[in-house]
Amino acid sequence: MKGLLIKDFYQMQSYLRVFLVVVLFCVLAGFSNQDAVFMTYYPAILMGMMPITMYSYDEKENFLKLLSALPMKKRTYVTEKYIFGFMMVLLACAATGMVQAIKMSMDGSFVLTDFALIMTLPLAIGMVAPSIVLPLIFLLGTEKGRFVNILVMAIALSFIKVFMDLGSDFQIIIDAKQLVFLLLGGATLLYFISWLITSTIFEKKEY
Amino acid sequence: MNAVEIRDLCKSYKEFELKNINLTLPSGCIMGLVGENGAGKSTTIKLMLNAIKRDGGTITILGKDNRENFELTKEDIGVVLDEVGFSECLTAKQVGKVMQNIYKNWDAPVFEQYLTQLKLPRDKKFKEFSKGMKMKLAIAVALSHHAKLLILDEATSGLDPVIRDEVLDVFSEFTRDENHAVLISSHIVSDLEKICDYIAFLHEGKLMLCEEKDALKEQYAIIRCSEEILGAISKDAVIGKKISPYGVEAIVHRSEIPSEVEISPVDLEQLFIFMVKGER
């Protein structure tokens, strides 16, 4: 598992430098622009999709064939992709969270529950998008799965917009703390179910 | 102990079938798996690695069924595939670090030693490697975790003769330890003839023969004669023949040829070509 994670980090460093610059730009844009809430969520979505990109490279570079020779279960490979994805989302949330915390402190609006709510949404959405796409990519392969990937990205971004518009109404029905637990609990459960489905799909795949 | 035991192995696809493969590779030996493209060599290797599911039969690797806790057995197997499978952006040094965290018995000094021996650059990206260098790196990885069995799928195909020779020397060296074994698939028969103790010959999904190389050379011979002389020889003695305006060339069972007929030693390539293409 650790070896696979190291491989993915090396690949990310090498192939995705421009991508990481875009993420960094979005994080910083959230600081400079008053209306850039969208930019707070976008990095988590992008980083959450990272395991899909990594899987594409593994498929293209025949690593999946080599995998059958390595001393690990197929499930380990799937687990690594989910852990890698979660680490990426956490990384993006940590970066945007830091920026948002500084921004809120500077304008005197920092309230812990508000801050937690603001940061919960990217964390949850960052996990939801790969939860849907990863099983399909493992099932269909990168080429066929690409369309699904784009579709899910579009739905995820639309969801953010809708949620942002309805945000205040939600808070009337349930308080912020409940919302944080609901979002995080739901996303985690979905992520876990997705991992189970992907593991089953990959167990049956032959390379 | 036998490194590999395959019994009645079957696998069916829509347009291809691997039928009742039986082969045994004793420890301390090198077996060559020969056959034309599409004969079933890679399918057999995939089945051995449990990368695809078999329809029937058994596969025992290093004394254990390859469907039971095979990830543990794979610690003792070094594999080189024709499409090596390392990430294009990794350097040899980085590949070493990745593998160090995958194999429990990874031996970094041994890996370093192989990089030096095979003249592989440490900081060059894999995508900048030549085909030969890529294959040599895969071999270095396969040999750096104290494997007992090497499985090589077309590992020497596409390499120039000098590198092929280097690589074959490495495999011969590996089997000096009697607990080690190598299964190497190739359609370059001359490579296998150099280093193999056993030869398994696959043709259209069937195992035509699986025998010691020296026994094959003792059993079979080639004769060049007229059609009349060949006609006088028992048909059962002839494995395959080719008729040309200059006479007949035939692969025969040595023991069944009358002493007055001149025979020459056969090389494996001739034997397989006649078995597949020669008339009987």
The residue ranges of every structural domain in chain A are 2-204
| Helix A112-140 and helix A176-204, axial crossing angle in degrees, nearest 10 | 20
Q: Which residues contact B24 (CB under 8 A, 6 or more apart)?
A: B2, B4, B5, B6, B210
Pairing of strands B220-225, B181-186: unpaired
The percent of residues in chain B predicted with pLDDT above 70, rounded, is: 98
Whether B155 has a pLDDT exceeding 90, the answer reads no
User: Which residue in A has a C-alpha nearest to residue B83's C-alpha?
Assistant: A62
Set of chain B residues whose Cβ sits within 8 Å of the Cβ of A62: 81, 83-85
How do residues B101-152 score in pLDDT, each as one tens digit?
999 999 999 999 999 988 899 989 998 998 888 988 999 999 999 999 999 9
State pTM to two decimals.
0.83
State whether B98 and A10 contact (CB < 8 Å).
yes
State whether A10 and B87 contact (CB < 8 Å).
yes
Set of chain A residues whose Cβ sits within 8 Å of the Cβ of B75: 71
Set of chain A residues whose Cβ sits within 8 Å of the Cβ of B98: 3-4, 6-7, 10
State whether A62 and B84 contact (CB < 8 Å).
yes
How do residues B204-233 score in pLDDT, each as one tens digit?
888 988 888 888 888 888 888 877 777 777
Q: Measured between CB atoms, which of B72, B81, B85 is closest to A61?
A: B85
Residue B111: count other Cβ atoms within 10 Å of its Cβ.
22
DSSP string, A19-57: HHHHHHHHHHHHHH-TTTHHHHHHHHHHHHTHHHHHHHH
Give the pLDDT of residue B252: 85
Give the pLDDT of residue A174: 58
* Among B70, B97, B98, the residue to mutate for chain A (most A Cβ within 10 A): B98
Mean pLDDT for chain A overall: 82
Give the pLDDT of residue B191: 77
CA dist B120 and B124 (Å) reads: 9
Question: Chains A and B: how many Cβ contacts under 8 Å?
Answer: 77
Give the pLDDT of residue B178: 85
User: Which residue in B has a C-alpha nearest to residue A203's C-alpha?
Assistant: B51
Residue A25: count other Cβ atoms within 10 Å of its Cβ.
13
Whether B79 has a pLDDT exceeding 70, the answer reads yes
Q: Which residues contact A203 (CB under 8 A, 6 or more apart)?
A: A74, A75
The letter for the amino acid at A77 is Y
Give the pLDDT of residue A128: 87
User: Which residue in B has a C-alpha nearest to residue A4's C-alpha?
Assistant: B98
How do residues B185-196 score in pLDDT, each as one tens digit?
987 787 788 888
ipTM comes to: 0.83
Whether A200 has a pLDDT exceeding 80, the answer reads yes
Give the pLDDT of residue B211: 87
Q: In what order do the strands lie in the sheet with B77-80?
A: B64-65, B56-61, B2-12, B17-26, B206-212, B198-203, B30-34, B181-186, B149-153, B77-80
How do residues A74-130 score in pLDDT, each as one tens digit?
999 999 999 999 999 998 888 888 887 887 787 777 777 777 777 788 888 888 888
How do residues A134-151 score in pLDDT, each as one tens digit?
998 898 888 777 777 777
User: Which residue in A has a C-alpha nearest to residue B127's C-alpha?
Assistant: A61
Whether A198 has a pLDDT exceeding 80, the answer reads yes
- How much is the average pLDDT of B70-74? 89
Helix (H, G, I), strand (E, B), or coil: what is residue B91?
strand
pLDDT band, residue A188 (cuts 50/70/90): very high
